[in-house]
Structure 1
């Protein structure tokens, strides 16, 4: 299946390219694989990053764009950008399990039958990140509600009891997340 990756805002891409071109930004990054990379490192696969808001009906909010960084023929790190009052700006470089998990989930998504737009969906309260395969391939990636038929692929490491790299319909996974995010009932004794 072809993935319809939305183009990132030009200022977001420029901010990542400027950071990659800055010896100070790369040297001070806490990403050993980025500092050790031989040859050029290029940003690829821009993915809009949305956060799940669980107040009432589950909604999403765009919080940034993530670029996977390729060097030496493999993904070596990622770069995040955020929207500020001055526009899109570079936030930070990072590496770790979510970089390889994102790449794996994207390869997995390419084998699915229907076209979709890849995004990232963060659930900060659960320390969870998913690849969100949105059914509207014409969207610019900044808007769009989570449709019941959209697929969510939890990235490793996933919270206990949620299988990483297993695609779930949003209609099936959202109730599980909502239940986990619900405040626990207060237990007490009447005096």
Structure 2
């Protein structure tokens, strides 16, 4: 089933386009794949990046939107990514980067296209585990900038995943969240609601 990729905020996209058209921004990024990429570079597949700030003792979550990530394509393949962040003045370009999460994100998105139910792709970062997942949110009409993972949503850990958690395997939030809760330092992620 096709994914329902949410549109990125227009100002976020503009900041990426401006950075891509700036030789200084591309050169200072120290991202060799951008410097050596043939043809025009285009931002593609915008995904909101949410951060899992905490898990309550009852299993609830608190997430916040940290920015939008765009895969940067050269010809037919993604060669890097660009991130934007929300500042008090609006959306701002944050950085270009490359590494294993680029190919892993593409692979997870291809896998997600085979999921039978419609879903909205997002990224969910778990800083306490240095983990990034593709979050397949079941409500395709939801505002991509808000919300928290529902128990029936799917999380696909991107490679490299933490030891003991299989990358590119779809987990229901209800199944993976307890594992994450046990593995993250309690003071950083698990907080009592008392």
Question: Is 1:145 the counterpart of 2:148 in the alignment?
Answer: yes
Q: What is the DSSP-based 3-state SS (H/G/I as helix, E as strand, rest coil) of the residue aligned with 1:100?
A: helix
In 1, Cα distance between equivalents of 2:166 and 2:15: 35
3-state SS in 1 of match to 2:118: coil
Query: 1:154 and 2:157 equivalent?
Result: yes
Q: Within 1, Cα distance between the matches of 2:121 and 2:127?
A: 19
Structure 1 gaps of 5+ residues are 185-191
Q: What SS does structure 2 have at the residue aligned with 1:115?
A: coil
Unmatched tracts of structure 2, length 5 or more: 188-194
Structure 1 runs (4+) deviating above 6 angstroms are none
CA deviations on 1:88-131 (whole Å, 9 max, x unpaired) are 01000000000110000000000111100000000011000000
Cα distance in 2 between the residues matched to 1:96 and 1:147: 29
Q: Which residue, 130, 133, 137 being the options, matches 2:136?
A: 133
How far apart, in 2, do the equivalents of 1:99 and 1:30 lie?
16
| CA distance in structure 2 between the partners assigned to 1:153 and 1:161 by the alignment | 14
Name the CA distance, whole Å, in 1 between partners of 2:117 and 2:30: 38
Q: In the aligned structure 2, how far is the partner of 1:182 from the partner of 1:67? A: 30
| Alignment partner, residue 178 of structure 1 | 181
* Equivalent in the alignment of 1:26: 26
Q: Is the 8 A contact 2:55 2:181 kept in 1?
A: no
| SS state at 1:82 partner | strand
Q: Provide the rounded CA distance (Å) in 2 between the counterparts of 1:155 and 1:179.
A: 19
Structure of larger gyration radius: 1
Question: C-alpha displacement at 1:181, in angstroms?
Answer: 1.5
**Aligned-residue offset at 1:16:** 0.1
Number of aligned residues: 184
Q: TM-score with structure 1 length normalisation?
A: 0.94
Tell me if the contact between 1:66 and 1:79 (Cα under 8 Å) persists in the aligned partners: yes
* TM-score for both structures, normalised by structure 2: 0.92
| Corresponding residue number in structure 2 for 1:7 | 7
Q: CA deviation at 1:182?
A: 4.1
Q: In structure 1, what is the equivalent of residue 123 of structure 2?
A: 120
The separation in 1 between residues aligned to 2:28 and 2:89, in whole angstroms, is 24
Map of 2:170 onto structure 1: 167
The alpha-carbon deviation at position 183 of structure 1 amounts to 3.2
